[in-house]
Amino acid sequence: MSLAWRACALVLGLTLVAACGLQSGGVVPLRVGPAGIQRVPELEGVRITVGSKDFTEQNILGYLIEFALSAAGADVRDMTNIQGSNSVRDAQLHGQIDVAYDYTGTGWINYLGNETAAPDEIGQFEAVRDADRTEHGMAWTAMAPMNNTYALVMSARTARETGVRTLSDFAALVGSDPAAAALCVGTEFNARPDGFPGLARRYAIDTTAVRKQIVQDAVVYQATADSKQCRFGSVAATDGRLPALNLVLLQDDRGFFPKYNAALVMRADFADEHPQVATVMSPISRRLTNDTITELNRQVDVDGREPADVARDWMVAEGFVTAR
């Protein structure tokens, strides 16, 4: 799949979301056939539109859904790479997207407006599953063990020089030596209640003293590794650039960040009409550990491979589908 194709897909996806009408999306970029996933008569020819947000992991997860349901016989349409969590959520609520992977912490905090997260992964999943079905008619199912929580990181050099190990250590450094605690944050992390605003409250970070730069998410990783533009940075904990750049996670010693396990999300009426979707996807979700998704992310962000290729190769290697 070419970069030009992906750019066109993004523009198309944003146009469709803005239109707030039921649209079909684009074609699935690569072909697959049945293997471990066999044809499902109840899904044969059913048109299913798959969505995702506009970052590497989400695109990979979206393609996993597309290849799985294509192998099962559905008429799958591609609306991956939509900008921002709220745009994907609105597209689902308005019926433009039938199924997507989303994160339990995002659902609980951002979509449902809660401030305090559940302390464990199962409890967080069950809370968002029950509340979102009741309040918005959305069904959450097939939770994966992967937990893409937010985190702050630093280079190994910064860790040695500052002695910082925890987020409490970072907060103390902001108070004692703001220049040594220079921070880069992504645009969404800077504004989300489960991002910097909530983090600052929980750890009593002096927001008037902290030297914070708001940058594109992709910039944070290398800038933090270089330790020049910033000494610390906001990241996703399953990003493949973390091990590649030898970045060190700060311990969340006060348990601020919610659990962000990926789970399949559908409108409840769609999920009830097509329960086979969850049946097909559940074995895939069970294999999506932190190590697995971090490696798939690394192949895209470090090796420069296309997300669709990475997703299909993994599905073939795991025996779910065949390549055509």
| Cα–Cα dist 264/168, whole Å | 34
Task: Return the DSSP state at 210.
Answer: -
| Predicted TM-score of the model (pTM) | 0.86
On whether the CB atoms of residues 25 and 16 are closer than 8 A, the answer is yes
On whether the CB atoms of residues 248 and 156 are closer than 8 A, the answer is yes
| Cα–Cα dist 225/243, whole Å | 11
In tens digits, the chain (324 residues) has pLDDT values of 333 434 444 444 444 444 433 355 899 999 999 999 999 999 999 999 999 999 999 999 999 999 999 999 999 999 999 998 999 999 999 999 999 999 999 999 989 999 888 989 999 999 999 999 999 999 999 999 999 999 999 999 999 999 999 999 999 999 999 999 999 999 989 998 889 999 999 999 999 999 999 999 889 999 999 998 899 999 999 999 999 999 999 999 999 999 999 999 999 999 999 999 999 999 999 999 999 999 999 999 999 999 999 999 999 999 999 999
Q: How far is CA 281 from CA 12, 35, 245, 275, in A?
A: 26, 14, 32, 10
Q: What structural domains and CATH numbers belong to the chain?
A: 3-147+259-323 (3.40.190.10), 150-249 (3.40.190.120)
